[in-house]
Amino acid sequence: MVILMSSIFVIGYVAIALEHNIKINKSATALITGVSLWVVYILSEINKPEVLVNLTEYLGETSNVLFFLLAAMTIVELVDAHDGFDIITKRITLRSKVALLWVLGAMTFLLSAVIDNLTTTILMVTLIRKLVADKEERLLFVGTVIIAANAGGAWSPIGDVTTTMLWIGERISTVNTISSLVVPSLLCVLVPLVFVSFRLRRAAPVAGVTPAAEQRVSVHRTHQLVVFAVGMLVFLTIPVFKTLTGLPPVMGALAGLGILWVIIEIIHVNKHEEEKQALSVVQALRQIDAPSILFFLGILLSVDALQSTGILTHVAQWLDHAVGNKSAIAGIIGVSSSIVDNVPLVAAAMGMYPVALFPLDNSLWEMIAYAAGTGGSILVIGSAAGIAAMGLENITFSWYLKKMSLLALVGYAVGFLGYLIFHL
């Protein structure tokens, strides 16, 4: 079973990487891979009810991510439909693409620590699509945003799901995590920023872009401000909602979407049906990139199957015995998180190393927090931010591998080395 499931997983990932060569959509490949792994698992297992229990549990966790993504993308679409992002883009008067890259990179790095890297990526990609007209240059901006969002999320307990896991599990504390990881995370993003800047230094001045075929409905200035303010407030209060209620972030996102939905219905109540429809939540839902969400589902199903069968746990245990050095293990976990989801990798590490031996704020947990948070940037399918951007901007696996993976790897290594120098 282990060999067969591992082979299916590898074949699926190769097919996703070669999407444009084999002419098969990555979402279809991901779904087939995910379901196939669960089919092999249940057919090979004697205790089939246990498999169904595991599947139900993982589907519950996966639905949190998918519905959060759905709610966040819908809110962004609503703000965009009401020209809300013009409030930001009209204030960005930079004529140099290099300067714009650094401003957006800094915004992403800081914002992802306050909300989370997935939400930040969705917001920043939307802004970039309005500011950068050239497709190839826009992809460089988006690739940099992926790296900056993951790096920004790594030094905050609420910036990435893995740091949140370690924080809730009392492996890391807030103040110590920020003070220990902010510099390594900053080094991680500075390397790609510098190299991408050299690629853009001869680019033409910045020019905003709005698709020629897009028909925009005129929006009152007050309505524009209200929708933008409520949308941004929803994103900023999701971590607060989670802290106060103990409920997962998806509940805060769904509640925020419901509130924004009611407000939009009220402010457009007297408009003609056709105009109201163009600015409605229903229309925003039609604009959502459903294949990207299905791709996300397929990837998570695949990783959940490997986690449920214990394959990932066995790999982690093998690493512990074969490598031994905790710094090296943390580094390998980071690189591995670009291939499989970082959540089960961190969960396995938390189970392997007891708190009695590795207490709160031990360097092992700090290294794992950094590595798992930033290592996913090495491949575009290695993080939630990458997968979201992949769908929003139609980034191919091969493009990211050629243009951004090496930069992300070097940045990851420089940041990790920086941590070792400063703390060990």
| pLDDT confidence band for 152 (50 / 70 / 90) | very high
What would the pLDDT profile of 395-412 be if each residue is shown by its tens digit? 888 899 999 999 999 999
pLDDT value for 370: 94
Is pLDDT above 50 for 346?
yes
| pLDDT confidence band for 205 (50 / 70 / 90) | low
What would the pLDDT profile of 43-52 be if each residue is shown by its tens digit? 988 888 999 9
With beta carbons less than 8 A apart as the criterion, state whether 143 and 400 touch. Answer: yes
pLDDT value for 341: 67
| pLDDT confidence band for 169 (50 / 70 / 90) | confident
Structure-model confidence comparison of residues 11 and 313, the more confident one: 11
| pLDDT confidence band for 286 (50 / 70 / 90) | confident
Fill in the amino acid letter for 256: G
What is the average per-residue pLDDT within 129-147? Answer: 91
pLDDT value for 211: 42
The DSSP secondary-structure symbol of 169 reads T
Is pLDDT above 70 for 362?
yes
- SS3 of residue 212 by DSSP: coil
| Percentage of residues in the chain having pLDDT higher than 70 | 95
Residue pointed to by tokens 């883009």: 89
What is the average per-residue pLDDT within 311-338? Answer: 82
What is the average per-residue pLDDT within 355-370? Answer: 88
What is the average per-residue pLDDT within 356-370? Answer: 88
pLDDT value for 337: 84
For the record, the structure tokens of 393 come out as 């901007």
CA 315/CA 372 separation, integer angstroms: 16
What is the average per-residue pLDDT within 185-198? Answer: 93
pLDDT value for 68: 82
With beta carbons less than 8 A apart as the criterion, state whether 120 and 152 touch. Answer: yes
What is the average per-residue pLDDT within 135-139? Answer: 90
pLDDT value for 192: 92
CA 206/CA 170 separation, integer angstroms: 46
Q: Average pLDDT of the chain? A: 85
The DSSP secondary-structure symbol of 204 reads P
What would the pLDDT profile of 56-103 be if each residue is shown by its tens digit? 988 887 888 788 878 888 888 888 888 887 887 777 777 788 889 999
| pLDDT confidence band for 202 (50 / 70 / 90) | low
Is pLDDT above 70 for 27?
yes
Long-range contacts of 75-78 (CB under 8 A, 24+ apart): 75/231, 75/234, 75/235, 75/253, 75/256, 75/257, 75/260, 76/122, 76/123, 76/126, 76/231, 77/284, 77/285, 77/287, 77/288, 78/227, 78/231, 78/260, 78/264, 78/279, 78/281, 78/284
What is the average per-residue pLDDT within 331-340? Answer: 85
Is pLDDT above 50 for 151?
yes
Is pLDDT above 50 for 112?
yes
Is pLDDT above 50 for 210?
no
Structure-model confidence comparison of residues 158 and 185, the more confident one: 185
The shares of helix, strand and coil residues in the chain, as percent rounded to the nearest 5, are: 80, 0, 20
CA 383/CA 379 separation, integer angstroms: 8
pLDDT value for 322: 82
| pLDDT confidence band for 162 (50 / 70 / 90) | confident
Structure-model confidence comparison of residues 153 and 243, the more confident one: 153
Is pLDDT above 80 for 181?
yes
pLDDT value for 46: 86
The highest-confidence range among 131-140, 182-191, 199-208, 382-391, by mean pLDDT, is 182-191
Is pLDDT above 80 for 185?
yes
pLDDT value for 189: 94
pLDDT value for 214: 47
H helix count then E strand count, the chain: 22, 0
| Percentage of residues in the chain having pLDDT higher than 90 | 29
With beta carbons less than 8 A apart as the criterion, state whether 298 and 339 touch. Answer: no
Give the up-direction half-sphere exposure of residue 273: CA atoms within 13 A in the CB hemisphere: 0
What is the average per-residue pLDDT within 186-203? Answer: 88
pLDDT value for 217: 64
Q: Give the global pTM.
A: 0.76
Is pLDDT above 50 for 336?
yes
What is the average per-residue pLDDT within 310-325? Answer: 77
Buried b / exposed e across 36-62, counting CB within 10 Å, b at 16+?
Answer: bbbebbbeebeeeeebeebbeebeeeb
Region of 206 on the Ramachandran plot (φ > 0 left; ψ -120 to 50 alpha; else beta): beta
